Chains A and B, each alone.
Chain A
């Protein structure tokens, strides 16, 4: 089968390139860590929270959390429109 060979070749090339990209980066040694050092040094006294992740998510970058809440609301809205209860005899309209 030609398609099987092509699929295996693509899989091997993709896996090899991804593994090479992952192995060539030094692990646990970031090149730029100014923001990390600032958050670790001043996050506790500026926000009062012991958990630095929560202090970043809810204080330093709270706009991100606001967007996430809007995303969840939009998901609920979409599901409620998609799965709404239809009346008797009502059918979907296709354009």
Chain B
């Protein structure tokens, strides 16, 4: 992947990157209402970044997104996940307790039982954990491909 591919592939990657990213964020944010969740949405967003890595030169991609960005994504996702789980203990609940459900505040709207249209402001800590895992998977899967591409690059130059 040391040189960029043809103009058709680059233009298609430009157009598809937008739709793939928007679809991935939709899956992450609606994880508690529709099929999907943090891991699936994060993998879809990472697929968009990998499309850009494959279609363009590595220097071009590293000019747009740095490695530091994905590492920070991974670490902040993990910290947000653990922090949401640990935040229940000072409030007097158990570890991983869903303490926001039904309180009326953030993500605390009472859900009507049975078949309902699906309200976004429900389900307590589940959307927060969805977003945390989504950010973490997005950073992790992208940084794996990025490390492999740069490692191959140095290997090819070394020969």
Contacts and interface: CB of A to CB of B under 8 A. Distances in A.
Q: Is chain B a partner of chain A in the same complex?
A: yes
Interface residues of B, number: 46
A86 to B, nearest CB: 7
Contact of B133 (A47, A59, A65, A79): A65
7 contacts: A48-B122, A50-B116, A59-B124, A59-B125, A69-B133, A75-B144, A80-B147
A73 B140 CA distance: 7
A48 to B, nearest CB: 4
* Nearest 8 A/B pairs, CB to CB: A83-B151, A49-B32, A49-B123, A48-B123, A62-B96, A48-B111, A48-B101, A83-B147
B24 interface: no
Contacts of A51: 31-37
Interface of B: 31-39, 74, 77-78, 81-82, 85, 96, 98, 101-102, 109-111, 113-114, 116, 118, 122-126, 129-130, 133, 136-137, 140, 143-144, 147-148, 150-152, 154, 158
